């Protein structure tokens, strides 16, 4: 009989360190989701999906895109996404994790160099592990560190293509990448840029095109726009030169061997793009911006924290158990606030990750502050 004792010991060790994870149902006022613009329950998106289902668009794709799973809705979405984001071509994939696995395990080749921000998404780390390229991680948001890594590699005889890999807005720290500085490094060293816009898509840039939108259409940019955050739906759109999209279709295992996303979800993503564009999108972003500013005044200022840069507000506690105790107090009062512990964040930086979305009101923020602030016995700091 197979013994599972080693797994039991592993879970017990996590329990003892206060780091065991458990699934829990959603409950309370939303201060934890990535549904920044509140589009997950948007009536216009729901109507678009219902209309598509009524005219016979199937729920399931029936196979991978390279078999029978390639639906007209996928291709229509990709054409719309390329035009909207400003790239030569786009590819729709199941989610951002799969997309980063595909991108980083496929596009950088043996002889190339990947230079990645040390705080880049876990999916980027996993994709890098699957690459044949050499990889180094550098100090967070330090453009000079990226350049120094490329120079060292060239000095050691590196002759391939450097790949600069970063998020444009970091999910645990809420800060923005030095996009233009990284682009300048790429220009000086004939490097490729791979920017993950996951937490910026829909929220920043003209019409919500992202923080690196002004660079779109260049031959050295690959951008990833996930659809399950600011767009409120599901999936991920890779935007890149046509040749690189063709390379992914032919070489990327997470794309080739995955069942295609639902054609109905492709319709939903297209409708979400329509919602974030134009005056309606400006209104949504304006409302979110006002809520973020209010959270800064109601929560950050009393704690001695700087004004939030983005809709993500990290309150670094440090100690794992204390972080979870404060989160539990907020949850008990009816607010969905989550604690984040290592290994998701570096050791000693356990934190509350407050996510400000259009799913809350200014009154909700004020009521959370009334619960949260007394829970703090000393000043916390933003990472």
Closest CA to 80 of 272, 270, 277: 270
Letter string b/e over residues 168-207, b meaning 16 or more CB atoms within 10 A of that residue's CB:
bbbbbbbbbbbbeebbebbeebebbbbbbbbbbbbbbbeb
CA 335 – CA 325 distance, rounded (Å): 14
φ/ψ of residue 118, rounded to 5:
-65, -20
Enumerate residues 6+ apart whose C-beta is below 8 A from 88: 82, 217, 240, 241, 242, 245
E strand intervals along 6-133 = 29-30, 89-93, 113-117
> How far is Cα 36 from Cα 29, in angstroms, rounded to an integer?
14
DSSP string computed for 207-241: GG--TTGGGTT-TTEEEEEESSSTTSS--EEEEE-
**Rounded distance, CA 353 to CA 30, Å?**
12
Strand partners, 114: 135, 163
Specify whether 229 is catalytic: yes
Measured between alpha carbons, how far is 240 from 4 in angstroms, rounded to an integer? Answer: 45
Which distant-in-sequence residues (6+ apart) come within 8 Å of 189 by Cβ?
147, 150, 154, 162
Q: For this structure, is 6 an active site residue?
A: no
Residue 199 catalytic? yes
Q: Pick the catalytic residue from 42, 78, 196, 364.
A: 196
Q: Is 171 among the residues known to form the active site?
A: yes
Active-site position among 100, 229, 262, 364: 229
**Which of 74, 199, 225, 294 is flagged as catalytic?**
199
Concerning whether 189 is annotated as a catalytic residue, the answer is: no
Question: Contact 342/358 with Cβ under 8 angstroms?
Answer: no
**Which among 34, 100, 123, 355 is annotated as catalytic?**
34
In the numeric block, which tokens belong to residue 224? 């990833």
From 30, 35, 117, 167, the catalytic residue: 167
DSSP annotation of 32: S
Pinpoint the alpha helices (H) of 107-252: 122-129, 143-155, 179-188, 242-251
Q: Which helix (H) or strand (E) holds 332?
A: helix 320-332
Q: Which residues are catalytic?
A: 34, 121, 167, 171, 196, 199, 229
């Amino acid at each position: 009989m197979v013994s599972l004792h080693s797994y039991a010991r592993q879970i017990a060790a996590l329990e003892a360190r206060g780091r065991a994870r458990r699934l829990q149902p959603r409950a309370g006022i939303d201060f934890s989701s990535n549904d920044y613009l509140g589009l997950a329950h948007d009536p216009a998106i729901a109507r678009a999906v219902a209309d598509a289902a009524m005219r016979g668009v199937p729920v399931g794709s029936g196979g991978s895109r390279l078999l029978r799973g390639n639906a007209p809705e996928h291709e229509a979405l990709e054409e719309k996404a390329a035009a909207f984001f400003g790239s030569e071509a786009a590819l729709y994939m199941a989610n951002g994790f799969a997309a980063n696995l595909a991108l980083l395990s496929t596009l950088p080749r043996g002889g190339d160099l990947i230079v990645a921000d040390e705080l880049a998404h876990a999916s980027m780390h996993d994709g890098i592990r699957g690459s044949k390229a050499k990889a180094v991680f550098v100090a967070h948001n330090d453009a000079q560190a990226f350049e120094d890594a490329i120079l060292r590699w060239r000095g050691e005889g590196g002759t391939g293509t450097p790949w600069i890999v970063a998020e444009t807005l970091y999910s645990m720290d809420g800060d923005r990448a030095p996009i233009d500085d990284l682009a300048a490094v790429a220009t000086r060293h004939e490097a490729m840029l791979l920017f993950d816009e996951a937490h910026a898509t829909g929220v920043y840039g003209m019409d919500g095109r992202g923080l690196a939108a002004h660079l779109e259409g260049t031959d050295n940019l690959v951008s990833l726009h996930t659809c399950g955050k600011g767009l409120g739906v599901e999936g991920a759109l890779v935007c890149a030169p046509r040749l690189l999209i063709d390379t992914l279709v032919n070489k990327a295992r997470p794309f080739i061997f995955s069942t295609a996303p639902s054609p109905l979800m492709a319709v939903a993503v297209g409708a979400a793009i329509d919602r974030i564009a134009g005056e309606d999108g400006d209104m949504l972003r304006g409302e979110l911006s006002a809520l973020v500013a209010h959270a800064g005044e109601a929560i950050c200022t009393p704690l001695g924290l700087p004004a939030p840069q983005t809709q993500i507000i990290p309150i670094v506690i440090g100690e794992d158990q204390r972080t979870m105790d404060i989160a539990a107090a907020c949850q008990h009062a009816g607010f969905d606030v989550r604690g984040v512990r290592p290994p998701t964040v570096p050791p000693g930086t356990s934190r509350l990750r407050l996510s400000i979305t259009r799913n809350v009101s200014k009154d909700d923020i004020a009521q959370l502050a009334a619960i949260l602030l007394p829970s703090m016995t000393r000043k916390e700091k933003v990472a």
